[in-house]
Structure 1
Amino acid sequence: MLSHIDTTTYAKSIYVDQDNVYIVGYTDAIGERSFKLWKNGVPTKLISGERINRGLDLTVENENVYAAGYEQVGDKYVPRVFKNNELLPIQHTASGHTYAFAVQVVDEKVYVLGSEYRNGKQANIIWENGKEIDFLSVESGYSEFQSMIVVPKE
Structure 2
Amino acid sequence: MKKIILFLILTQSAISCTNSEVTADDNQMSEGKYYAVGSTYGKNKDNQFTQLASVWIDGIPTILSNTAIVSAANAVAFYNNDRYVAGTESLSNGNTILKLWKNNTSESVTDGNHHVEVTDLIVSEGNVYIAGNESVGPLNSSIATIWKNGQVLRLSDQTSEANAVYVYNNDVYATGYKVIDDKKIAIVWKNGVETVLNSEQNDLESTATDIYVDADNIYVVGYLRNSFKSRAILWKNNSPATLSDENDFSQAKALFVHNTDVYVVGCDIDTDRYDFVGKVWKNGTLVTEINGANPKSIDIKNNKIYMAGTGLDDRGMHDEGKIWESDVTNLNFVAKYKFPNNKINAVLVK
Q: What is the match of residue 24 of structure 1?
A: 221
Deviation of 1:59 after TM superposition, in Å, equals 0.9
User: What CA distance in whole angstroms lies between the structure 1 residues aligned with 2:304 and 2:269?
Assistant: 26
Letter aligned with residue 14 of structure 1? I
CA contact 1:2–1:9 (8 Å) conserved in 2: no
Per-residue deviation, residues 51-73 of structure 1 (Å, max 9, x unmatched): 42110000111011000000135
- CA shift, 1:137, in A, is 1.0
CA distance in 1 between partners of 2:256 and 2:295 (Å): 14
Matches within 5 A, 1:50-61: 50-61=247-258
Using the alignment, how far apart are the partners of 1:85 and 1:125 within structure 2? Answer: 25
> Residue 131 in 1 paired to residue 329 in 2?
no
Query: What is aligned with 2:27?
Result: none
Report the TM-score, using the length of structure 2 for normalisation: 0.38
| 1:116 maps to 2:311 | yes
Q: Secondary structure at the match of 1:48?
A: coil
Paired position in structure 2 for 1:87: 286
Whether the 8 Å CA contact 1:24–1:56 is kept in 2: the answer is: yes
Counterpart of 2:232 in structure 1 is 35
2:267 alignment counterpart:
70
CA displacement at 1:86 relative to structure 2? 2.0
- 1:20 & 1:8 partners in 2: Cα distance? 24
- Displacement of 1:50 in angstroms is 4.1
CA contact 1:58–1:103 (8 Å) conserved in 2: yes
Q: One-letter code of the match for 2:324?
A: W
1:47 aligns with 2:244: yes
Aligned-residue offset at 1:88: 2.5
**Pairing partner for 2:344 from 145, 149, 152:** 145
Q: Which amino acid aligns with 2:198?
A: L
Deviations 1:56-105 (A, max 9, x none): 00011101100000013584310001111122235x4x5xx421111111
SS of 1:47's partner is coil
* Distance in 1, Cα, partners of 2:340 & 2:224: 31
The answer to which of 72-81 and 7-16 deviates more is: 72-81
Question: How far 1:116 moved relative to its partner?
Answer: 1.1
* Residue from 3, 6, 10 that aligns with 2:207: 10
Conserved? CA contact 2:306–2:347, under 8 Å: no
Q: CA deviation at 1:33?
A: 2.1
Distance in 2, matches of 1:139 and 1:11, equals 30
Unaligned residue ranges in structure 2 (runs of 5+): 1-196, 327-331
Native 8 Å contact 1:114 1:124 kept in 2 = yes
Q: Name which of structure 1's ranges 46-55 and 105-114 shifts more when overlaid on structure 2.
A: 46-55
TM-fit CA distance, 1:31: 5.8
